[in-house]
Chain A
Amino acid sequence: MSNFKDTFDSYDWDSLEKEIYAFTEADVRQVLAKDKISLTDFKALISPAAKPFIEQMAQRSQALTKKRFGNTIQMYIPMYLSNECQNICTYCGFSMTNKIKRKTLSDKEILEEVAHIKNLGYDHILLVTGEANRTVGVPYLKNAIQLIQKHFSNISIEVQPLHQEEYEELVAEGLYAVLVYQETYHKATYKTHHPKGRKSNFDYRLDTPDRLGKAGIHKIGIGALFGLEDWRVDSFYTALHLKYLQKTYWKTKYSISFPRLRPHQGEVQPKVEMTDTDLVQLICAYRLLDEDVELSMSTRESVNFRNNIINLGITSISAESKTNPGGYSVDPQSLEQFEISDERNTQEIIEMIKKGGYEVVWKDWDRSYTELA
């Protein structure tokens, strides 16, 4: 069976970079005259030459998003289960060498956090951990899913990459989605930022969505961490990855996230800055490329940015997120993975969404569908 690596290996970072930066306004105009946007067209839309067309792209992105997703925004909330980690990631607060207090939630603590989150109204949850296979391995995750299952319609995880059989095990427990970001598709830069731990294996991470697809997961979330490398080239690779996955694992749904580097313990300055304008351009370009892919926005972004972005193509957002284990109620003072930017509470976000003319969707899945799988 094929995997993405074959496709990935047929592209070269430097040539792509040259190509993307060589587009002209005339090229972009030609692309925007088309009904269907191809991967090649996508390159033009994320190029610097497309900047003057950003309003036009936004209008089209909004119309396409409304057609497919309607006047709705889905809500989810992350729950950090653990900050233990055996990886060194230069940009992450949980990185192994950071001298922070490590914590992994017990069953009792998980349920206490759940009670707090349920009170806020959430029905879709994202469980997050670092990579500590002995303490937070598959048995721990399986237990956590079993524990919280009756409280949520939809459970996703963002944890260390697992083997196919392990994913199958979790899917059987009712897991709906897995988010796994490549961070950067630039091999050498990847190595610099992930010098130690299992995460330093670029190829294994790259192959993760393939293993998920083979395990029959309902949804896979992909993306790059913006700031490590040129966001344009990384985004082209992400789009390439998306198109490959859609063709190969056609029963699976996909989502894209847009994390930009945020301040945290053990600061790394972004190598390539991505401005708000860049990010809007990218979101719109994704929507023009693909009408159906879910586009997700976390609380990393600012109040003003989030107020406006729900109109432009984003389909799901989080609110009031805590990025530390126990952050909601058990241990609010523990160290965060990164600082969030939009600190408004859930009620304020609901108001913002409604004011924008959208309905908040809390539930878009039924537990019984996953239980049966």
Chain B
Amino acid sequence: MTDTLKIADKTFESRLFTGTGKFSSSQKMREAIIASKSELVTVALKRVEMHNESDDILVHLNENHINLLPNTSGVRTAKEAIFAAELAREALETNWVKLEIHPDPKYLLPDPIETLKAAEELVKKGFVVMPYIHADPVLCKRLEEVGVQCVMPLGAPIGSNKGLRTLEFLEIIIEQSTVPVIVDAGIGAPSHAAFAMELGADAVLVNTAIAVAQNPVEMGIAFKMAVEAGRLAYTAKLAPVKQHAEASSPLTSFLNE
């Protein structure tokens, strides 16, 4: 398959990114992630013992094809995020970071101002920055300007499973972006993921919908298939949607008379 996704120095066969939270056991998490064929897996720094090689989550993700993407969930400011990213770079030996700054612990909505500040600083420090943000087209352009390698706009609040509630803005972001667009948060069903891919998103990130499913392994597979189907539909170019039948041309037929 040649339709790969490139972010910074890495090439991904799979356009499904996953998370590690909310599973009923680390073993279940591992099985679901492996079944999903995901190659980029985000892990909250606050949940792992960074300097402990036998950390339960990290041990279960020790696979060649799985790239760890540490996230800064829990920090409230740019300063804290930068500090956390540096700790992760040192302990987990990766310069990739999913930048999550949500000072609001209730809806976990990202702070655009702190995120932009931190992104700029982290790029300068040599990080591959994947910022979790509102579906705000202008913020996406501003982030591009400071050198982030992709943007991760939300479809709906994290963990809400509500689908692409920000559709109008996601479409603008996808249209305008010069870096990969990864729809993150809110994707609650494979159909949502397929829809995001059909719109032209470069990838999606799914966690809750897989972790909390009755059968996370099968759900991981379902998301894999949905993302592939959506992507294929996008590259195959969807037939246009017609609002009504085109039976005749009552307004312009006179031109042919």
The chain A residues found within 8 Å of chain B, CB to CB, are 66-72, 153, 246, 250-253, 292, 354, 357-359, 361, 363-366, 368-369, 372-373
Question: Given that A67-B159, A368-B84 are contacting pairs, would A292 and B105 also be in contact in the complex, using a CB cutoff of 8 Å?
Answer: yes
Could you tell me how many residues of chain B have their Cβ less than 8 Å away from some Cβ of chain A?
31
Contact B87 A368 (CB under 8 A): yes
Binds A, one of B21-29, B142-150, B173-181, B191-199: B21-29
Q: A251 contacts which of B24, B76, B161 (Cβ < 8 Å)? A: B76
CB distance from A62 to the nearest CB of B (A): 11
Against A, the Cβ 8 Å flags (1 = close, 0 = not) of B54-69 are 0000000000000000
On chain A, the residues within 8 Å of B80 by CB distance are: 369, 372-373
CB distance from A97 to the nearest CB of B (A): 41
Q: Which residue of chain A lies nearest to B25 when distances are taken between CB atoms in the complex? A: A359
Contact A251 B104 (CB under 8 A): yes
A66–B22 Cα gap in the complex (Å)?
8
Number of A-B contacts (CB under 8 A): 74
Contact B75 A292 (CB under 8 A): no
Question: Given that A251-B76, A363-B48 are contacting pairs, would A71 and B103 also be in contact in the complex, using a CB cutoff of 8 Å?
Answer: no
Contact B212 A359 (CB under 8 A): no
6 A-B interface contacts by CB (under 8 A): A70-B21, A70-B208, A250-B104, A251-B103, A251-B105, A363-B49
CB distance from A296 to the nearest CB of B (A): 15
B211 within 8 A of A: yes
Main secondary structure of the interface of B (DSSP, over half): loop
CB distance from A350 to the nearest CB of B (A): 12
On chain B, the residues within 8 Å of A357 by CB distance are: 24
Q: B24 contacts which of A68, A71, A363, A366 (Cβ < 8 Å)? A: A71
Q: Which residue of chain A lies nearest to B160 when distances are taken between CB atoms in the complex? A: A67
Q: A71 contacts which of B22, B45, B75 (Cβ < 8 Å)? A: B22
CB distance from A302 to the nearest CB of B (A): 25
On chain B, the residues within 8 Å of A71 by CB distance are: 22-24, 211-212
On chain A, the residues within 8 Å of B74 by CB distance are: 365-366, 369
Q: A366 contacts which of B46, B106, B107 (Cβ < 8 Å)? A: B46
A369–B49 Cα gap in the complex (Å)?
13
Contact A365 B22 (CB under 8 A): no
CB distance from B109 to the nearest CB of A (A): 10
On chain B, the residues within 8 Å of A153 by CB distance are: 46
A368–B91 Cα gap in the complex (Å)?
13
CB distance from B114 to the nearest CB of A (A): 12
B79 within 8 A of A: yes
A361–B160 Cα gap in the complex (Å)?
21
Which of B87, B103, B104 gathers the greatest number of chain A CB atoms within 10 Å?
B104
